[in-house]
């Protein structure tokens, strides 16, 4: 199963959601891979304690080799996978020059190469989580073409709402042109304040429009910032914390018979 977490709006906890869902998956015994396509490298630093640029053999190198003419010099996608200190959890780290490389990849029409690599990695991993940049660029499109499911983080403001509409249109377009099996699993509400009127009103409006708001919502907590600082996903840092339990419930919902593959857009 290949899942991409994407929204063009920054600051909504995309990398945190990606890494913590993946950590829950690995903690439950599933062979899990996180692929970091964001040049900022937040997922890389969170799980490997290294910044983009401090790691060799990255996802950037995987893309770079698709431009090479010498087939014999190419390495398998698994060569770019790094083990973490957590059982069953691995990372394909970001590279510092992903943005520079993107125009060359687009010019050479390499949009399907990432899908081919993840299909090969799917023989080794049960779950693959893809963290994307907060922009609809070459890497995001590559991820959406390669993925089977999409989660959209949402932080209950009007900017996030407009970004959500943009994602829905993008998914529809890519389904028609490149990936007809891509499923929109739903909207993950993050930094939720249950006592506030505006978030509840906004979510009611989105549900009335038919958008799939997932029932498990993630509250704002200082524990997440502590998790980043310690480079420990919540399931390891604070297994009994309410936010940890919310991530576990979200993971369970997504992989339950009723929650998995909720809908096509």
DSSP output for 226-257 = HHHHHT--HHHH-TTSHHHHHHHHHHHHHTST
Token pair in block for residue 25: 């998956």
Report the pLDDT value the prediction gives residue 195, as an integer from 0 to 100: 85
| Tens place of pLDDT per residue across the chain (265 aa) | 999 999 999 999 999 999 999 999 999 999 999 999 999 999 999 999 999 889 999 999 999 999 987 666 789 999 999 999 999 999 999 999 999 999 999 999 999 999 999 999 999 999 999 999 999 999 999 999 999 999 999 999 999 999 999 999 999 999 999 999 999 999 999 999 988 898 999 999 999 999 999 999 999 999 999 999 999 999 999 999 999 999 999 999 999 844 444 444 4
184 with 212: CB under 8 angstroms?
yes
Q: What are phi and psi of 262, to 5 degrees?
A: -60, -50
84 with 47: CB under 8 angstroms?
yes
Phi-psi region of 41 (alpha: psi -120 to 50; beta: other; left: phi over 0): left
Superfamily covering domain 2-254? P-loop containing nucleotide triphosphate hydrolases (3.40.50.300)
pTM for the whole structure: 0.95
Q: Which of 1, 6, 23 is nearest to 132 (CA)?
A: 6
One DSSP character per residue, 173-184 reads: HHHHHT-TT-EE
Residue whose pair of structure tokens reads 């945190």 in the numeric block: 16
Domain chopping of the chain, boundaries: 2-254
């Amino acid at each position: 199963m290949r899942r991409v977490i994407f929204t063009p709006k920054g600051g909504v906890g995309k990398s945190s959601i990606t890494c913590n869902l993946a950590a829950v998956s690995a903690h439950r015994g599933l062979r899990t891979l996180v692929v970091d396509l964001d040049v900022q490298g937040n997922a890389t630093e969170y799980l490997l304690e290294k910044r983009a640029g401090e790691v060799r053999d990255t996802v950037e190198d995987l893309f770079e080799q698709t431009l090479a003419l010498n087939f014999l010099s190419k390495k398998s996608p698994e060569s770019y996978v790094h083990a973490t200190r957590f059982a069953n959890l691995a990372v394909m780290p970001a590279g510092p020059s992903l943005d520079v490389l993107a125009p060359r990849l687009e010019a050479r029409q390499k949009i399907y190469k990432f899908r081919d690599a993840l299909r090969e990695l799917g023989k080794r991993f049960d779950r693959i989580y893809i963290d994307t940049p907060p922009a609809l660029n070459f890497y995001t499109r590559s991820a959406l073409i390669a993925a089977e499911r999409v989660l959209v983080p949402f932080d209950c403001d009007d900017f996030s709402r407009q970004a959500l509409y943009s994602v829905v249109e993008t998914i529809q377009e890519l389904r028609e042109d490149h990936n007809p099996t891509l499923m929109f699993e739903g909207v993950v509400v993050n930094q939720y304040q249950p006592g506030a009127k505006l978030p509840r009103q906004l979510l009611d409006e989105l549900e009335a429009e038919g958008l799939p708001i997932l029932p498990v919502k993630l509250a704002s907590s200082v524990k997440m910032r502590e998790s980043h600082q310690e480079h420990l996903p919540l399931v390891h840092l604070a297994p009994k914390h309410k936010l940890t339990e919310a991530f576990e419930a979200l993971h369970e919902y997504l992989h339950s018979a009723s929650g998995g593959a909720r809908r096509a857009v």
